[in-house]
Amino acid sequence: MSTVSRALSDHSRISDATKKRVWELARQLNYQPNQLAAALRKGRSNTLGVVVPHIDGQFFALVVKGIETIANQAGFNVMICQSNEDAAQEQKNVETLLNAQVDGILLSLSLSTHDFGYLEEIRRRDIPMVFFDRVVESKEVSAVVLNDYQGGYEAVCHLIEQGCRHIAHLGGPQHLNICRNRYQGYADALQHYGLPLDPALVSFSDLRIQDGRQGMECLLAQAPQLDAVFSCNDLALVGAMQVIKRRGLRIPQDVALAGFSNELFDSLTEPMLTSVDQRCEEMGRTAVQMLLELINEGPTKVAPRQVVLQPNLLIRESSLRSSVLQETKV
Amino acid sequence: MSTVSRALSDHSRISDATKKRVWELARQLNYQPNQLAAALRKGRSNTLGVVVPHIDGQFFALVVKGIETIANQAGFNVMICQSNEDAAQEQKNVETLLNAQVDGILLSLSLSTHDFGYLEEIRRRDIPMVFFDRVVESKEVSAVVLNDYQGGYEAVCHLIEQGCRHIAHLGGPQHLNICRNRYQGYADALQHYGLPLDPALVSFSDLRIQDGRQGMECLLAQAPQLDAVFSCNDLALVGAMQVIKRRGLRIPQDVALAGFSNELFDSLTEPMLTSVDQRCEEMGRTAVQMLLELINEGPTKVAPRQVVLQPNLLIRESSLRSSVLQETKV
DNA sequence: AACAATTGCGCAAACGTTTGCACAATTGTT
DNA sequence: AACAATTGTGCAAACGTTTGCGCAATTGTT
């Protein structure tokens, strides 16, 4: 048994001759090692756990793809759980993963998670963990995020440069880092150009499509002079667009639009929607690489890091007023 | 040890008193059973494997959601793999899952899978398995599929009833059951109404958005009289729509459109796209239920079954010529 | 009161690997 | 030629559960 095990793992103390014999026989018998037994003995399951709010929609689907690619290359299995934006479900997911003895956890917070207490259990068990996108902001934990602030800033600067002066914002829950930062980018861009930050031009919601419709109705009612909308995500922006069109307003001439996430449908609407691309796959790859590092070095060895990816503004018809030809790729 | 184990699993031969004591102590010590050890001993990992072509796009994302819901309820973990429509990757995924000692496998074939030989290994190991959506058609295997034939048939009947007489088809790879059946539904609907099946009105491809554009160009060139398109999926249909609009043709007056899958973006385009809904979550739930049955009863006990779900035609603007108000929900 | 049946508990083996250690055989060093 | 170092192999314990079986204590039956 021991010799076999060592031969298969290419141990240096086994002669080439016996290795050959073992390999050959293993092939003949179609021997498949039992990962469970190995996991039990070695105390590592070679499995990674991922918790995402949902996988419909481009963003998380692509992040997951990036995660799977790298994880599989490194010989790790991946277990994916959806919290469905529900804090209780998220906690259950984490418990499930811990019970499944995963070697590490990748997590993006649900919309409704306010209490992070349950994460203590992960610390207590010394399970490596990396947040991505929607993170608890702390120097104590590893995380990879987009520079959402920069994304919001650039998008709004672009709108201003297109001549817009009354730019509205459809914002998300402010306890989420991403929404807060995008909003801050919006605010700072306005300030940079000497424009006022008008509360009547800002509407917060959970950013579903119906929230976008409703928010837009509201904004148009209280600030009819608005000439652009920057939305914290694309789904809400589509809702807003529907309302704008129904009112007979032209896009981008009367109201210019810019969103966030570069969803698949952004190029399918009319006009096509300007949006901030989030480098989804890269985010997934980076997160899992950091996690693997933590796993291999031991979570106590390597200090927590926060990686920030730079966003990429994709300018499309919904915000392009000037006759300048569009240079950015769709 | 034994008493503890039995107490925790509520064994009948353990007195209520000791059960109480064990439970209490377990809680105090924050005892978490090691699933790996249990799995090794019991010979079942309580993990299910899922292989899908991809998870971006509404369909598979929702199927996966259905799968996770039921599987978690039944105490099973779920490992999801994407084949990225690649046969080699699909085979690797299956090997990974087998090595991870999953108790059962749910599989939807990739676009490029022609050779099913590697599936023999699953049979040989007696691992329960259920196909869904894209299946190998055989009475020997369990599967849950949509009645794609019926979906195609209904969609095309609807187009005909709207007054269309020259209905084109954007078809997918004919080795895939779903594409073949949708095409057959198209053909039979034409025949039922006494319309000819004109090869010049049919174009096959891999159904990406650019395939839809290209296919549409081609169809318009060889059959300018066409007055409707039924596409095997919605992505290709969007591509076709773009071409149609660019030519200045009106939808649905000049060309009516119907697709398949009820993607998220169907309600976001202009006009909104008529499409066949696939009961995604239900498909996932049914598939996993069948799999659990196979796992619990033993794969040799219960005979393979094929479940067929009925499609649901969602009529939207892209095909609605008459002034009749739309009754179907979007 | 003698025996059978039931109830409650614990020993020890088993699941299939990995790995520390001991030992034998070979090779190298003086 | 004696000893040390190296190389190759195998024994047996360990990982943390589950479970067959045996034994003791209790309860039920005649």
Q: Does A181 reside within a domain?
A: yes
Asked whether residue A181 carries a pLDDT value surpassing 80, the answer given is: yes
CA of A15 to C1' of D10 (A): 14
Of A33, A35, A264, which is closest to B265 when you measure between CB atoms? A264
CA of A3 to C1' of C21 (A): 14
Half-sphere exposure of B183 (CA within 13 A, CB side): 20
CB-based contact (8 Å) between A8 and chain B? no
CB-based contact (8 Å) between A32 and chain B? yes
Closest by Cα among A166, A242, A124, A184 to B271: A242
Residues A97-112: what's their mean pLDDT? 95
More reliable by pLDDT, B185 or A270: B185
Query: What is the token pair recorded at B214?
Result: 């290209």
CA of A15 to C1' of C30 (A): 28
pLDDT for B302: 86
Q: Does B299 reside within a domain?
A: yes
Residues B288-292: what's their mean pLDDT? 97
Please report, for residues A29, A73, B103, B188, the alpha-carbon distance to residue B124 in angstroms, rounded to integers and kept in the order given.
13, 27, 14, 40
Q: How far is A99 from chain B (nearest CA, A)?
A: 6
| pLDDT tens sequence across A41-80 | 999 999 999 999 999 888 999 999 999 999 999 999 999 9
Nearest-Cα residue of chain A relative to residue B78:
A79
Q: Let me know: does A67 contact A50? Beta carbons within 8 Å.
A: yes
Q: Does A173 reside within a domain?
A: yes
Separation CA A54–CA B83 (nearest Å): 20
Written in H, E and C, the secondary structure of A11-48 is CCCCCHHHHHHHHHHHHHCCCCCCHHHHHHHHCCCCEE
Asked whether residue B328 carries a pLDDT value surpassing 60, the answer given is: no
Same domain, B92 and B127: yes
CB-based contact (8 Å) between B98 and chain A? yes
Same domain, B56 and B101: yes
| pLDDT tens sequence across B102-122 | 999 999 999 999 999 999 989
pLDDT for A300: 76
Q: What is the DSSP letter of B317?
A: G
| pLDDT tens sequence across B68-78 | 999 999 999 99
Asked whether residue B299 carries a pLDDT value surpassing 80, the answer given is: no
Q: Does B328 reside within a domain?
A: no
Half-sphere exposure of B325 (CA within 13 A, CB side): 2
Q: How far is B258 from chain A (nearest CA, A)?
A: 16
Asked whether residue B323 carries a pLDDT value surpassing 60, the answer given is: no
Asked whether residue A21 carries a pLDDT value surpassing 80, the answer given is: yes
pLDDT for B2: 87
Q: How far is B277 from chain A (nearest CA, A)?
A: 16
Same domain, A77 and A130: yes
Separation CA B315–CA A98 (nearest Å): 46
pLDDT for B84: 95
Chain length of chain A: 330
Same domain, B141 and B285: yes
CB-based contact (8 Å) between A77 and chain B? yes
Query: What is the token pair recorded at B31?
Result: 């005892």
Closest by Cα among B67, B19, B46, B58 to B276: B58
Separation CA A21–CA B19 (nearest Å): 52
Number of structural domains (chain B) is 3
pLDDT class of A323 with cuts at 50, 70, 90: low
Asked whether residue A330 carries a pLDDT value surpassing 50, the answer given is: no
Asked whether residue A175 carries a pLDDT value surpassing 80, the answer given is: yes
Asked whether residue B327 carries a pLDDT value surpassing 50, the answer given is: no
Q: Does B325 reside within a domain?
A: no
CB-based contact (8 Å) between A96 and chain B? yes
CB-based contact (8 Å) between B47 and chain A? yes
Sign of the alpha-carbon torsion through A201, A203, A208, A214: negative
Phi-psi region of A194 (alpha: psi -120 to 50; beta: other; left: phi over 0): left
Query: Torsions phi, psi of B79, nearest 5?
Result: -110, 125
* Virtual torsion, Cα A306, A310, A316, A322, nearest 10 deg: 130
Percent of chain A's residues with pLDDT above 90: 85
Q: Does B326 reside within a domain?
A: no
| pLDDT tens sequence across B240-254 | 999 999 999 999 999
Nearest-Cα residue of chain B relative to residue A63:
B56
Same domain, B226 and B270: yes
Same domain, A160 and A203: yes
CB neighbour list of residue B73: distance below 8 Å, 6 or more residues apart: none
Q: Which residues of A touch B68 (CB under 8 A)?
A: 81-82
How would you label B252-262 residue by residue, b for 16+ Cβ within 10 Å and e otherwise?
beebbbbbbbb
Q: Does A24 reside within a domain?
A: yes
| pLDDT tens sequence across B207-241 | 999 999 999 999 999 999 999 999 999 999 999 99
Query: What is the token pair recorded at B317?
Result: 């603007």
Q: Let me know: does B275 contact B314? Beta carbons within 8 Å.
A: yes
Same domain, B177 and B66: no
Which residues 239-268 on chain B approach chain A with CB closer than 8 angstroms? 264-265, 268
Q: Which nucleotide lies nearest residue B41, CA to C1'?
A: C15
User: For residue B144, which amino acid is it?
Assistant: V
B58-73 and B280-297 helices, crossing angle to 10° = 40
Residues B254-260: what's their mean pLDDT? 98
Same domain, B238 and B163: yes
> Alpha helix (H) ranges present in B12-169?
16-28, 35-42, 58-73, 87-99, 120-124, 148-161
Separation CA A138–CA A306 (nearest Å): 9
Separation CA B282–CA B295 (nearest Å): 20
Q: Which residues of B touch A65 (CB under 8 A)?
A: 54-56, 82, 84
Chain length of chain B: 330
Same domain, B113 and B222: no
Question: Which own/partner contact pairs does B31-39 have at CB distance under 8 Å and 24+ positions apart?
Answer: B32/A98, B32/A99, B33/A99, B33/B8, B34/A40, B34/A101, B35/A99, B35/A100, B35/A101, B36/A36, B36/A39, B36/A40, B36/A45, B36/A101, B37/A40, B39/A36, B39/B101
CA of A133 to C1' of C13 (A): 49
Closest by Cα among A83, A112, A93 to A49: A93
CA of A24 to C1' of D13 (A): 29
Separation CA B126–CA B123 (nearest Å): 5
What pTM did the predictor assign? 0.92
Separation CA A168–CA A152 (nearest Å): 12
Asked whether residue B329 carries a pLDDT value surpassing 80, the answer given is: no
Separation CA B5–CA B317 (nearest Å): 61
Q: How far is A301 from chain B (nearest CA, A)?
A: 25
Same domain, A133 and A173: no
CA of B19 to C1' of D29 (A): 30
Separation CA B297–CA B299 (nearest Å): 7
Range(s) of the domain holding residue B220: 148-278+313-319
More reliable by pLDDT, A158 or A57: A158
Q: Which residues of A touch B264 (CB under 8 A)?
A: 56-57, 265
Q: Does B329 reside within a domain?
A: no
* Contact: A80, B82; criterion CB under 8 Å: no
Q: Which residues have Cβ atoms closer than 7 angstroms to strand D?
A: A 1-3, 6, 12-18, 37, 40-41, 43; B 1-2, 4-6, 8-9, 31-34, 37-38, 40-42
* Contact: B36, A40; criterion CB under 8 Å: yes
Same domain, B164 and B285: no
* Contact: A78, B79; criterion CB under 8 Å: yes
* Contact: A32, B270; criterion CB under 8 Å: no
What CATH number does the domain containing A165 carry? 3.40.50.2300
Sign of the alpha-carbon torsion through A61, A64, A66, A69: negative
> Alpha helix (H) ranges present in A136-258?
148-161, 177-192, 209-222, 234-246
* Virtual torsion, Cα A53, A57, A63, A65, nearest 10 deg: 120
CB-based contact (8 Å) between A225 and chain B? no
CB neighbour list of residue A92: distance below 8 Å, 6 or more residues apart: B72
Q: How far is A28 from chain B (nearest CA, A)?
A: 14
pLDDT for B300: 76
Same domain, B131 and B235: no
Query: What is the token pair recorded at B78?
Result: 């779920």
CB-based contact (8 Å) between A62 and chain B? yes
Query: What is the token pair recorded at B158?
Result: 């609807």
Asked whether residue A298 carries a pLDDT value surpassing 90, the answer given is: no
Asked whether residue A329 carries a pLDDT value surpassing 50, the answer given is: no
| pLDDT tens sequence across B152-167 | 999 999 999 999 999 9
